[in-house]
Amino acid sequence: MSELPALNNETIWAILNEEIEDATVNQLIWHYLGYRYDEAAGKWDASAVGDEWRDEYPEPPDFIENRPPTVKLTRSIPPENKQLLKEQLGFKGYKVGEFGPRQTRRATMANWLLSYMSGAKSGEL
């Protein structure tokens, strides 16, 4: 796996503005869910992944290409953090006609990462 960008507001904006490749955005989510690639074994190690993810996805899912894991990701964001993109970053969303499922999924992933950052700052993680 390539080196991941720092988890900060600049990275979140880069995800929303499609300045970071889809593969890297997936890798960010995988990393913070606990998935690690074991180079020596040539397979994914999910031992640090929560049961609610590991049971359904023993290997990390592609959040960009597949709706079901993105729905699960959305549901895993605490209700108080559902609007963080708007509240913390002032993200106004995408313009009608200029977005599709891929952008919507990237926004979900960005919001999940922002929620993760919020939990890390408050010591919940």
- What whole-number distance in Å separates Cα of residue 48 and Cα of residue 74? 20
Give residue 121's pLDDT band: very low, low, confident or very high (50, 70, 90). low
Give the mean pLDDT of the chain.
Answer: 91
Count the domains in the chain.
1
Q: What are the tens digits of pLDDT across the range 79-97?
A: 999 999 999 998 887 776 7
Residue 3 in domain: no
Residue 96 per-residue DSSP state:
T
Query: CB count, 10 Å around CB of 18?
Result: 12
Domain that includes residue 27, residue range:
9-120
Give percent of the chain above pLDDT 70: 93
CATH assignment of the domain containing 17: 1.10.418.90
